[in-house]
Chain A
């Protein structure tokens, strides 16, 4: 079966712009989590969506937002980009209650803010 698909793979944006990243989970996975990965901070949890509802949220400013659609696809949006937002953004899908299978990650979107 298809894995987790993230688009785009690479993105270059200018400070002050906004960006939208997309994640399509594995078919049947209704939970989607987003993480920011940087060399200095590791994998930082952004938020998690399940059945179109945000179930958990990390400690990121309000410029970071997300949503989930009825087909479980998810998007995250970052407004007013800052240089420090440059990172690899990873999404992961899972089936709550079936943690034996863990989270399946996409290949990520590498965002560079200039």
Chain B
């Protein structure tokens, strides 16, 4: 079945530094979604990417979808303490089944 891997598993950054998480799928995706889960919370939808090579920005967050629609990345510029949490990518396949990646847990050192 479809597998979605993310690296790194954990990332500790100094406040103000940049952060990037990478997502790779074993199969081509219809689209990719990104979610953020705060400690003790539930996943919250951030964005969806549909087109090959698509790039979207939300303030300090930049999301990219690979040309082959099998990989994606999330980049946060100048991290803040509010960015703490686990970031998940999730790939939607042709059967509309959403498979979540393994997640990257981001911690910020003040």
Which among A17-25, A73-81, A94-102 touches the partner chain? Answer: A94-102
B31 and A43 contact, CB distance less than 8 A: no
Interface set, chain B 87-105, CB cutoff 8 A to A: 88, 90, 92, 95-103
Minimum CB–CB distance for A103 against chain B, Å? 6
Query: Are A103 and B42 neighbours in the complex by a CB distance under 8 Å?
Result: no
Assess the B96–A96 pair: CB atoms within 8 A.
Answer: yes
Q: Residues of B contacting A96 with CB < 8 Å?
A: 96
Of B13-21, B43-51, B58-66, the one contacting chain A is B43-51
Known: A59-B1, A102-B48. A45 touches B33 (CB 8 A): no
List, sorted by A's number, 12 A–B pairs whose CB atoms are closer than 8 Å. Answer: A42-B88, A42-B100, A43-B88, A45-B97, A48-B97, A90-B43, A96-B96, A101-B45, A102-B35, A105-B43, A107-B41, A107-B42
Q: Find chain B residues with CB under 8 A from A102 CB.
A: 33, 35, 45-48
Residues of A within 8 A of B31 (CB): 99
B:72-95 near A, CB below 8 Å: 88, 90, 92, 95
What residues make up the interface of B, taking CB atoms closer than 8 Å to A?
1, 31, 33, 35, 41-48, 88, 90, 92, 95-103
Chain B residues with CB under 8 Å of A107's CB are 41-42
Binding site for B on A (CB under 8 A): 33, 35, 42-43, 45, 48, 55-56, 59, 90, 92, 96, 99-108
Take A59-B1, A90-B42, A105-B44 as given contacts and tell me if A99 and B92 are in contact as well, using a CB distance cutoff of 8 Å: yes
- Complex Cα distance, B41 from A90, in Å, reads 11
Shortest distance between the CB of A47 and any CB in chain B (Å)? 10
Cα distance A108–B43 in the bound complex, in angstroms: 10
**With a CB–CB cut-off of 8 A, which chain B residues contact A59?**
1
